[in-house]
Amino acid sequence: WAAVLSLRGSCWIRVFPAARGLTKMRGTWAGGYQQAGAWQQSGYAAPGGYGAHHGGGYAAQGGYGTHGVYGTATARVASAGKGSAGNLWQSNQVRSMTSAGAGGAAVATSTAGGSVAEGLTVSGCTHSTIGSIVRGHFSRFGENHGRPTFKKTTQANGLDVMLYFWDDRDGAALCGWWFGPKVGGDQVWAFHGNRDLNPPASGWTVPFNGPIDNTLQVQRSQTGSPQPLIAAQGQHVQPPAMLQRSPMGTSPQQQALQAAQQARQQQAEEMRTKQEEMRLKMEENKRRIEETNHKRMEEMRKKKEEEDKARFEAAQKKGVELRAMNTIRQAQQKVRVAVLQNYDAARAELEAVLERERPNLNDKAETIQDECETLVGNVQKRIDAVKEQKRKDEGRKQEEVRKRQEQEQRGVELLAELKGLVREVEGKLTKLKEDADKLSTEVGINIEEAEAAIKTVVEASEVAQTLAQGASEFLHTNHAVMNLAPSFKIDGEDGAARDTRHVLSAFLQRIGLCKREAGAAVEKSAKVKTTLLSRAKAQSQVEEIEAVFKRYDKDLDGMLSKRELVAFAQSEYKFTILEKTLDLIWEHYAEYSQKFNDTGIPRSKFGLAKCAVGVARELERDAKRRKDAAFRKQRFNEAKAKLMERIKTAAESITEADQSVSKAEEDVKPLATRSKGLRVAQMKALADEIRGVCNRAREAVNTAQLKMTGLKDGLEEDFKSELASFMSSETKKHDSRLGRMDGRINRSVNLLSRFEDEVGKKRTLEVDKVRDSALRVVRYNQQLKDLSDEELFSRFDADGDGVIGETDFQQFFAGAECTIRLLPSGDGEAAPAEGATEEANSAEQSADDKKAKEGEEVVELLPENLADVFVTLCQQGENYVSQEEFLRVVPQYMMVVKQTVMTEDLCIKDSKTLRRLELDEIVKVVKGPLQESATKVMRTLIKALKDDVEGWVSPTGNAGTIFLKEGGRRFKVMKETILTEAFELDGTAPMAEEGGAPGEVLSKRKLKVGEVLDVLVWPQMDKAGLVRLKVRALSDKATGWATAVGNQAGK
């Protein structure tokens, strides 16, 4: 070593010559002088050659720069070998600077970047949220996937901040360094795809899928690492006083330094020797490993050849086996699909193939043999079944042939029988036709003889028709059997026998012909009878006229004189012939008789004279009818005029009714507009006023209807139908107007009813609002004075009669505290220290007063509104509130709208959880709400109706989340059910408070879907497993027990 120390001004300059074995030193000032640092683990360094050894490897170091200044050296360290294999460490620049002219010293520095960092410092980051999380100091915290893991020394928002590496097991895109609250967690803040041993200094994407943020810097900050001492050019470093000596001689310190350097050089030589020995051992080990690997590879090659040969032989054997099995399968398929004709050949072929291919089947020979035997057995059964079926089919065919022959013989016999029936019918018909013809040809036959002959013909016709019908039914009954006859010959036809179908058709035609001819004979006889009867009637009339003529021919001269004709008209027609009419008849029909020397109506003209008398009588009657018609018309016109006056009066009533209905319509239409801004009382008065208008319109319509209906009364009986027809035509338009009025008035009434319903709803809402306010005042006074429900009832019942009257009700609210304030919580807040000043007490008191004023509410209850509330509390038909009803109404119930927990104490912190409140669960308020001092959350002491557990809950969270809301008293009917007076559905075993005789079956009422019920007794389970509750219907105040939940899967 050669070290030259020279003093240039006040600056010490240390020069290291280019000598082999120059080590990398870590310089520190110790004891007042610059001393060479210790060896970095092991190794040696030389400019342009070997560098300092790190972790068993070599590092390359740059040579000297110009003008005695060290060049930049970049150390790349490998875990094994000379700067080759292994991971690359982060590079750090080592700089030394000297000044030839100005003098000065440069101290070489290094951060030992080739080692794993023990700590990191993260700075920068433009992201407002992530930057505040990741910035800070990190310390090493274990490893993950072969890389160190770092943890921030402080938490961010209650979360740990980790910097860790994740490999490519989830994909190359996710491999790299990550910032996150947990190693491998789903939540991350920043990412870098670098895979180095240590986290990269920059180039991070923030957030993990965002852009690159170059301001985020990750720097190493190892604990205890020396800080470099850098002397810039132009600066002077004053060494310690003990190092300042004269230039003459060598100081003891320099001698000690040279001795230490020689010791280090010797140690380096020993290290080089050891490393050479290690290199030789490694080469020997490498050679042995290569020989062992060569032997192993040779053994593996031979083994593979043997395995390949075995596989080839097995494959050849398997191929032969597969071909043999394929041949056998083909033969099996032929046997499987064989029929009776080729079964034996297919079976023989299978046996031959099986015998030939058996040696090639190897170990499957027995299996294939069994399979073939099973197949042959199954097919043999099928063939045997086919043979048996064929034998049965042949026997069945023979039986069918025999039956067909018998049926053909039977058909021939039936055809012969049918032929006999047809012959009989035709014989009867021939005799019938002869009798009918004989009847029609006889002229002088009288009525008695004709009727006897006709009777004989009709009877014969009935017999013929009966026989024909029998033959027809016989043909239809035995048609199927007769069709089976091969052939048949009909009598009277030449040639061979005809086909059976033609024969049956011919017989059917002959039978039909017989029926028609029999009917024709009867009709012919009936016509003969009609003719004879007409002839006899005419003869009778002639004889009757002759008798009348003889009766009035008093002088027996064969003519009727005028006196005799007048007597005939007077006696027969009650008609007196006028003289001119008689002269006219005599002029046309009278004849002169020489025998009697007189004129008269002969017997031959008597019929004409009789007709003339009848015409004269009708003419006289026509004259009378015309006179009566004129009088009737006059009376009808008078009745019609009276009816018109009545119709006019009724029409005026209809006009008045129309005006009334129009006024009602005009008043109803703007109701929605007119009612805006009106109070309930004003709306009710307006509704009552319009109700009166509608009622008057209804009365006017009813009056008009009565008048229109009364028009039918008082009509003259003689003209009732004519007047009714006239009235119908005249009142048609009035009836139409009147009919429309019903619809118009009904629409107005409906609109008014809707308005009244809205008024009722609004009034109900106002009353309910006042009722809620009154109940809040009652509950506040109860908690303020710490009263039980019974004591509160006693405060209401001032007169002590056991019930609350309206006076008692009004008197209680007159003296009640109506300013509702927050009640003291009493949750254990610290009391003021003893001896506190009055000023402190005063300040606390004013703060409490201010807080109380902020939370107080003044409830205004007017007497008239309280009266309405009192009515709603009374039972139907009562004017007082019973203690039972009071104790039912006053307690406050709440419904769980969001799951929450019930705790043991008022304070949420460190309070034991009793249980979780389920959705839609009903609870009873015992105390509260009270404000917890720590969280400022309102807390309420409740009692769960489900299991009677008491605990504290928060109806509303500190973030505004609603967990409980007031309600639960009213239920809506979701499915039609019944309302009973007894708790049990069968009426037996009523509840104790309900009374009722055991075994009594009480009345029931249906509850319709959508009906609203007020709860009187909370749900209980009966002996049948039904959840039952006592309710009151709001529609009609009906009270009873209803089923809330059935016993079939919650229905």
Those residues whose C-beta lies under 8 Å from the C-beta of residue 422, and which sit 6 or more positions away, are 471, 507, 510, 511, 514
User: Which of these, 311, 348, 349, 306, lies nearest to 327 by C-alpha position?
Assistant: 349
Mean pLDDT of the chain: 75
Q: What is the average per-residue pLDDT within 170-191? A: 90
Say if CB 985 and CB 995 are below 8 A apart.
Answer: no
Calpha distance 621→613 (Å, rounded) = 12
Exposed/middle/buried for residue 1025 (C-beta within 10 Å: 0-12, 13-18, 19+): exposed
User: What is the predicted pLDDT for the residue at 990?
Assistant: 45
Residue 827: pLDDT band (50, 70, 90) is low
Handedness of CA 108, 109, 113, 115 (dihedral sign): positive
Q: What is the average per-residue pLDDT within 19-40? A: 33
User: What is the predicted pLDDT for the residue at 45?
Assistant: 35
Say if CB 444 and CB 511 are below 8 A apart.
Answer: no
Q: Name the range with the highest mean pLDDT among 50-59, 200-209, 900-909.
A: 200-209
Q: What is the average per-residue pLDDT within 595-600? A: 73
User: Which of these, 685, 687, 696, lies nearest to 662 by C-alpha position?
Assistant: 696
CB atoms within 10 A of CB 338: 19
Of the given ranges (196-200, 457-461, 634-638), which has the lowest mean pLDDT? 457-461
User: What is the predicted pLDDT for the residue at 57?
Assistant: 36
Those residues whose C-beta lies under 8 Å from the C-beta of residue 649, and which sit 6 or more positions away, are 707
DSSP state of 594: T
User: What is the predicted pLDDT for the residue at 848?
Assistant: 52
User: What is the predicted pLDDT for the residue at 180?
Assistant: 94
Calpha distance 8→104 (Å, rounded) = 7
Q: Outline where 711-805 has alpha helix (H).
A: 720-730, 732-784, 789-796
Give Cα separations from 77 to 82, 89, 271, 683 (angstroms): 9, 6, 18, 98
User: What is the predicted pLDDT for the residue at 994?
Assistant: 41
List, in sequence order, every residue forming a beta bridge with 1015; answer none if it has no partner.
1031
User: What is the predicted pLDDT for the residue at 204?
Assistant: 94
List, in sequence order, every residue forming a beta bridge with 218; answer none if it has no partner.
122
Q: What is the average per-residue pLDDT within 253-258? A: 81
Distance of CA 971 to the CA centre of its chain: 24
Of the given ranges (77-86, 294-303, 602-611), which has the lowest mean pLDDT? 77-86
Residue 115: pLDDT band (50, 70, 90) is low
Q: Outline where 553-679 has alpha helix (H).
A: 562-572, 579-589, 606-668, 671-674
Calpha distance 116→146 (Å, rounded) = 12
Tokens coding 692: 């009166």
Those residues whose C-beta lies under 8 Å from the C-beta of residue 849, and which sit 6 or more positions away, are none
Q: Is the peptide bond before 226 cis (omega within 30 degrees of 0)?
A: no
Say if CB 820 and CB 777 are below 8 A apart.
Answer: yes
Rounded to 5°, angle at Cα 283 from 297 and 274: 155
The helix (H) or strand (E) run that includes residue 207 is none
Strands (E), 469-584: 487-488, 498-499, 559-560
Helix axis angle for 606-668 and 579-589, nearest 10°, is: 130
Calpha distance 117→150 (Å, rounded) = 10
CA atoms within 13 A on the CB side of 394: 5
User: What is the predicted pLDDT for the residue at 137?
Assistant: 93
Give Cα separations from 188 to 16, 182, 213, 218 (angstroms): 50, 8, 16, 17
Place of tokens 């807040």: 829
DSSP collapsed to 3 states, 951-1018 = EEECCECCCCCECEEECCCEEECCCCEEEECCCCCCCCCCCCCCCCCCCCCCCEEEECCCCEEEEEEE
Calpha distance 963→940 (Å, rounded) = 12
Q: Name the range with the highest mean pLDDT among 1-15, 369-383, 938-952, 957-971.
A: 369-383
Q: What is the average per-residue pLDDT within 389-412? A: 85
Which of 69 and 584 is assigned the larger pLDDT?
584
Q: Is the confidence at residue 164, as pLDDT, over 90?
A: yes
Residue 181: pLDDT band (50, 70, 90) is very high
Q: Name the range with the highest mean pLDDT among 131-140, 569-578, 951-960, 975-984.
A: 131-140
Q: Is the confidence at residue 845, as pLDDT, over 90?
A: no
Calpha distance 515→426 (Å, rounded) = 10
Q: What are phi and psi of 1011, to 5 degrees?
A: -70, 140
Q: What is the average per-residue pLDDT within 383-411? A: 86
pLDDT more than 90, % of the chain: 9
Q: Is the confidence at residue 161, as pLDDT, over 90?
A: yes
Helix axis angle for 500-552 and 606-668, nearest 10°, is: 110
CB atoms within 10 A of CB 732: 9
CB atoms within 10 A of CB 126: 12
Of the given ranges (108-117, 602-611, 753-762, 853-862), which has the lowest mean pLDDT? 108-117
Calpha distance 653→1011 (Å, rounded) = 44
User: Which of these, 167, 162, 174, lies nearest to 147 by C-alpha position?
Assistant: 167
Q: Name the range with the highest mean pLDDT among 73-82, 203-212, 426-435, 681-690.
A: 203-212
User: What is the predicted pLDDT for the residue at 13?
Assistant: 32
Q: Is the confidence at residue 445, as pLDDT, over 80?
A: no
Calpha distance 711→643 (Å, rounded) = 8
- Pairing of the two strands 162-166 and 147-152: antiparallel
Q: What is the average per-residue pLDDT within 208-232? A: 66
User: What is the predicted pLDDT for the residue at 594?
Assistant: 67
Residue 232: pLDDT band (50, 70, 90) is very low
User: What is the predicted pLDDT for the residue at 2?
Assistant: 31
Q: Is the confidence at residue 902, as pLDDT, over 80?
A: yes
User: What is the predicted pLDDT for the residue at 139?
Assistant: 93
Q: How many Å from the N-terminal Cα to the C-terminal Cα in the chain?
A: 103
Residue pLDDT, tens place only, 576-597? 888 888 888 888 888 877 666 6
Q: What is the average per-residue pLDDT within 342-358? A: 89
User: What is the predicted pLDDT for the residue at 850?
Assistant: 53
User: What is the predicted pLDDT for the residue at 202?
Assistant: 92
Calpha distance 990→985 (Å, rounded) = 9
Which of 21 and 577 is assigned the larger pLDDT?
577
Say if CB 795 and CB 787 are below 8 A apart.
Answer: yes
User: What is the predicted pLDDT for the residue at 34?
Assistant: 33
DSSP collapsed to 3 states, 783-831 = HHCCCCHHHHHHHHCCCCCCEECHHHHHHHHHCCCCEECCECCCCCCCC
Residue 69: pLDDT band (50, 70, 90) is very low
Q: Is the confidence at residue 709, as pLDDT, over 80?
A: yes
Q: Give the torsion through C-alpha atoms of 175, 177, 183, 188, to 10 deg.
A: -90
Rounded to 5°, angle at Cα 763 from 750 and 818: 175
Strands (E), 212-279: 212-213, 217-220
Residue 846: pLDDT band (50, 70, 90) is low
DSSP state of 359: G
Q: What is the average per-residue pLDDT within 557-568? A: 85
Q: Is the confidence at residue 51, as pLDDT, over 60?
A: no
User: What is the predicted pLDDT for the residue at 73?
Assistant: 33
Q: Is the confidence at residue 832, as pLDDT, over 80?
A: no
User: Which of these, 521, 512, 507, 450, lies nearest to 475 by C-alpha position?
Assistant: 507
Q: What are phi and psi of 28, to 5 degrees?
A: -140, 150
Place of tokens 């009566």: 628
Residue 133: pLDDT band (50, 70, 90) is very high
Is the full-model pTM beyond 0.75? no
Q: What are phi and psi of 40, to 5 degrees?
A: -85, 90
Q: Name the range with the highest mean pLDDT among 47-61, 320-334, 1026-1040.
A: 320-334
User: What is the predicted pLDDT for the residue at 565?
Assistant: 86
Q: Name the range with the highest mean pLDDT among 205-209, 249-253, 932-936, 1030-1034.
A: 205-209
User: What is the predicted pLDDT for the residue at 837?
Assistant: 39
Calpha distance 784→765 (Å, rounded) = 28
List, in sequence order, every residue forming a beta bridge with 23; answer none if it has no partner.
none
Of the given ranges (101-110, 604-613, 984-993), which has the lowest mean pLDDT? 101-110
Kindly provide the b/e burial profile for residues 902-921, where b requires at least 16 CB atoms within 10 angstroms of the residue's own CB: bbeebbbeebeebeebeeeb
Q: Is the confidence at residue 997, as pLDDT, over 60?
A: no
Say if CB 922 and CB 1027 are below 8 A apart.
Answer: no
Residue 33: pLDDT band (50, 70, 90) is very low
Exposed/middle/buried for residue 609 (C-beta within 10 Å: 0-12, 13-18, 19+): buried
